[in-house]
Amino acid sequence: MSRIENVVPDMPDIANDTQVEVAGKLDWVGMNEIEMPVRIEDDAGGVIQSSALVTAYVNLKDPDVRGIHMSRLYLHLDQGFGERHLNPCTLRQLLRSFLDSHEGLSDRALIRVDFDYVTRRPALASDNEGWRRYPVSMIGILEDNEFSLEMGLEILYSSTCPCSAALARQLVQEQFSKDFDGRESIDFEQIREWLGTEQGIMATPHAQRSAAELRVRLTPSFDMFPIVELIDEIESAVKTPVQATVKREDEQAFAELNGSNLMFCEDAGRRIQTALNKDDRILDFWARCTHYESLHPHNAVAVVTKGVEGGYVAGAGAPVRLELSRT
């Protein structure tokens, strides 16, 4: 008998041996924020170990049974993640073990794993690179022997306001007119020198750190989760991901990127929508772009979905598949 199935016969089992006060089926029962180390393969063939918070649920379909066997869920997780890397196959095997250990009680199971994926990212101009941390969620559901797979990801980027940039340009033009008004001629070097002064660039547009939160439903045929591929896809779409290691040449390149990629949150949302629509691995998606305004005390937000019938809905908060929420 395995340690998961081992039961001391002379101890009370309240969940099984007592009657319910009020009968009723339960959509989900289990635990969340279970502390668990996980190992996941990176894009270079190595292994990353991370501290995760895990959610483990099954439904309770028998209205007259008081409770499930929560300890069995934990022991399955402990054994599964101790022996195997975190990947779609591992999630499916764990979900199957959840249901096998609750035969007659449950026919649907869910697992969610929240962790930080750390990876090296190159600098924009110099030969340096640095560590970046990306919050990731892996979500699996098994129901009627059908396995569905989802992934959540958050990516930080910089956004510069197009309206603010236009107003700043106007002020620079006005300052130029004041400083050079009345001169019969202006040579190239005078203009070049003026543009390099604080007086010349006397107004700058406001920019802010921004975040793209994603939830994607994947085709369930992966050996590995496409974490780095999706990071690359989104960072290429927004064009201004935040940087780790920054020398002066990198900061200058970043300033140039921001100046040539002015965007409202609406622009960021459409860029991400276009990128995800082109990815055949993604069956459905929900994305929220939040610009943490430096001008305002509030944020600017855009939400986009793929528009799949019966899929994600663009609610005011998290995507409306509430059974997948950690809370």
User: What amino acid is encoded at 205 in this protein?
Assistant: P
Please report, for the domain that includes residue 32, its CATH number: 3.10.270.10
Q: Judge whether 278 lies within some domain.
A: yes
For the stretch 266-301, pLDDT in tens is 999 999 999 999 999 999 999 999 999 999 999 999
Domain with 238, as residue range(s), is 123-161+206-314
Q: Quick check: is 271 in a domain?
A: yes
Please indicate, yes or no, whether residues 135 and 261 belong to a single structural domain of this protein: yes
Residue 44 belongs to some domain of the structure: yes
- Residue at 116 is within a domain: no
The helix (run of H) or strand (run of E) holding residue 50 is: strand 47-60
Rounded distance between C-alpha atoms, residue 279 and residue 314, angstroms: 20
Global pTM value:
0.86
Where is the domain boundary, 195, 219, 245?
195
Taking the C-alpha atoms of residue 44 and residue 291, their distance in angstroms, rounded to an integer, is 32
- How many other CB atoms are there within 10 angstroms of residue 152's CB atom? 20
On whether residue 324 sits in a domain, the answer given is no
Check whether residue 183 and residue 41 sit in a common domain: no
Number of domains in the chain: 3
Model pLDDT, residue 119: 94
In terms of domains, do 188 and 131 share one? Answer: no
The verdict on 1 and 28 lying in the same domain is yes
Q: Do 18 and 67 belong together in one domain?
A: yes
Q: Which of 148, 171, 195 is the last residue of a domain?
A: 195
Residue 265 lies in a domain: yes
Do 128 and 52 belong to one domain? no
201 in a domain, yes or no?
no
Mean pLDDT of all residues in the chain? Answer: 90
Residue with tokens 């970043």: 254
The answer to whether residues 149 and 5 belong to one domain is: no
The Cα diameter of the chain in Å comes to: 104
Same domain, 143 and 272: yes
Query: Could you count the other beta carbons within 10 Å of the beta carbon of residue 185?
Result: 6
- Residue 104: half-sphere exposure toward Cβ, Cα within 13 Å: 5
Query: Per residue in 186-231, pLDDT tens?
Result: 889 988 999 999 888 889 999 999 999 999 999 977 678 999 999 9
Alpha-carbon distance 294 to 69, whole Å? 50
Same domain, 184 and 253: no
**φ/ψ (deg, to 5) at 240:** -130, 55
How far apart CA 212 and CA 158 sit, in angstroms, is 11
